[in-house]
Each structure stands twice: as C-alpha cells, then as structure tokens.
Amino acid sequence: MESKRSDRLFLLIVTLFWFSQYIFVPFLSPHLAALGVTASLSGVILGAYGFSQLVLRIPVSVSEDCIGRHKLFMVGGLTALVLGSSLPLLSSSPVVYLFSRTLAGVSASTWVSYTVGFTGGRSDVKKRMGQLIAANNLGVMLSYILGGMLYEALGMKTLYAVSALVAASALALLPLCKVKNAEKPHAFHIREVVEVVKNRRLLLVSLMGALMQLIVFATAQSFVSNYAKELGVSGVGISLIAIAFNASGVAASTLFSRGLFSRMSERAFWAMGFGVLALYCLMLPVCNGLVLIILAQLLGGVGRTLLYTHQMAVCSADVPPESKTTAMGVYQSIYSLGMTFGPMLMGRFIDATGSYHTSFLLIGAFALAGVAWSWLTGDQKEL
C-alpha cells in the first residue's frame, strides 16, 4: 500500500515537472516572431533546449551510476527549472530566452533520474514505462490547457511565473517521495562507459530516437504554432493544437502499457510509428484551419508516443544492471541531437524557401526515410 502511495506521488511529481517545462512552449515560437526574431534565430533558441541535453545527459547518467542517488539529481534539475523559468520575467532579450531554454534543457537532462528511479530493477518495466510516459504527457497536456487561457488573458510572462511556481511545488514535494536508488553504485571507469556506448542495439534505438525527435521538434514542438498563427488561429486555438498532440499521446502510451501491440514485430511497429509521423507531416501543408491542424496533431501524437515509449522501454535491455542509468543517458543524449537540430533545420528551411508547406514536406521526407530504415534494421521478434 505504501509502495503504491509512493508511486502515485512520484507520478504526480513527474506530471508537475513536465507541466512546468511546457506551459509556455506552444507560444514561444510565435512570441519570438512577434519580438522580431527570425526563424533561423528562433530555431537556435529552441534548439538550445536539446543542445544542453546533448552535452549533459551522458555525464549526468554516468554520475548517477557512480553516486547511485537519483533524488539528488532530481533536486538539481527542478532547481535549474525554477531558475530558467524565472529569467524571462526579468527581460525579453533573445539572449535571455536562449539562457532560459538552456537551463530548461539542463533540467530535462535529469529525466534519466525519473525513468531509472521508477523502472530500475522492476519486472514490469514496460508497464511502468507506459505509466511514466502517460504522466509525462498528462503534465504537458494540462500545461497547454491552462497555458492557453492564461496566455490570452495575461500574456507570456504569466506563463513563465506559473512555470517557476509549479517547479518549486514539485521540489517541495520531492522529500516526501521514496525514490529507488541506482543498483550497485560504483567508481567511475571509462572502460564501462565505452562498452555501453559500443552496444549496437542501444545505438540503433538511440539513433531512431534522434530521428523521431528531429521530426517532432521541427514541427509539433516549434513551428506548427507559427504556422497556425499565420492562419489566424488565436492563443486558445494554439493551445488546443498542442493539447491534441499530447492527448493522443496519453491514449497511445496507455494502450502500449496494456500490451495492445505486443503481437507486432519490432520492425513493423517502428515502421508504423514513422509512417504515422510521415502522414502527419504530409497532412500539415493542406491544413488551412484550426480543425484540420488538430486532426493532424492527433495523428502525430500517436506516432511520436508509440516510438518513444517503446524506445525508452528497450534501450537499456541489453546492458548490465549497474550500467542501465548510463545506457538510458546515452539514449537520451543521442536523441537530443534531433531536439537540437530539428528546430534549427526547420528554421533554415522556412527562411530559405519562404514556405511552411515546403518545409513540412521536407521534414516528412525524414519520416519516410525512418520507415525504410525501420524495416531494414528492426528485429522481427514480437514486442
């Protein structure tokens, strides 16, 4: 009973963590455009979130394997989130937003603490990972609901103030939650890290994750909001667009955790996920209003969440128990390549072509490449 209560509190903290991370995200790209920031520079600012994770996730995960205390890193991540959300309250300079997104990425680098702290050493890893991703998606979805209302009424700075307050609340709850420490903490040995990084299965899943994140962060997590704004969609409408992406993600992660896709082969499952993302990208150019964009977002959220949930569940399956945190960090570091370069690439496409339609189609080509890659490299065994 006490274990279930602790699990519920842990999932609540996860929900608050991602609520704080994302409450302002749907409105950030249009806000930067309103400040006169070019699409290319906006891409750099948005990509800073992924870049800091790219740099930090492996060092954080290795440190966790050595120290063995996940809660310590969770405290550090939530503190960085409070600071990052507070910075835009002081200034609207693009440099301030750059530092804010960098600190948000520092905070997100500790996501490995949550994932391994909740699933490490458990027999029902896929079920618990599904619960964790559902809490992740729920936090993001709730942030979009409240964010849309507050943005219309009170503006962007209010969203950052709420973000800082919610992150501080999660930080206050953390001492009440029991977090499973890493198994067999040990001294740092570079050879062990090299062995983890050389794991071919881990590298394949990680690169698949990078491609998935590139597609998502080039579209749903950045410039779809700008596209909708140019079509005349209001702040509440932009919030609904973001909600749709995550609402379908919550449903997809729940279905995954219940074994709905367990009889599919891995390569068919991966190909299906990238195929859904490809269809999403191909739909966006023909969306000329709020309803059609919402329908596209529902589709994209399913593709992204199915791939992400399975990747998180299997990325560390073939490594020793004492190195699982490091393996999770390698996966999350490599997938940060997509989070970094997705917005940058999309920004360059928009500035070069002058067309959101063409840019969405170019990103769709990456998703189609993912379908072919999945079919060529995925395992034929059932999930």
Q: Which residue has the tokens 């062995």?
A: 195
- Model confidence pLDDT, tens digit, residues 124-176: 666 777 788 788 878 988 898 899 889 888 989 999 999 999 999 999 999 88
CB 132 within 8 A of CB 11: yes
Q: Would you state the pLDDT for residue 152?
A: 83
Mean per-residue pLDDT, 46-57: 91
pLDDT at 297: 94
Confidence band for 121, pLDDT divided at 50, 70 and 90: low
41's CB contacts (< 8 A; 6+ apart) are 32, 94, 347
pLDDT at 60: 82
pLDDT at 250: 75
pLDDT at 149: 87
Least confident stretch, 177-181, 202-206, 285-289: 177-181
What pLDDT is attached to residue 21? Answer: 95
**Residue 114: predicted pLDDT:** 86
Q: How confident is the model at residue 350 (pLDDT cuts 50, 70, 90)?
A: very high
What is the rounded average pLDDT of the residues 335-364?
Answer: 94
* pLDDT over threshold 70, residue 1: no
Q: What is the mean pLDDT of residues 207-215?
A: 95
Mean pLDDT of the region 36-43: 92
Tell me: the pLDDT tens digits for 53-77?
999 988 887 777 677 677 888 999 9
Residue-wise pLDDT tens digits, 12-39: 999 999 999 999 999 999 999 999 999 9
Q: What is the percent of the chain with per-residue pLDDT over 70, rounded to a whole number?
A: 91
**Tokens linked to 126:** 């896929």
Residue identified by tokens 């995200």 is 25
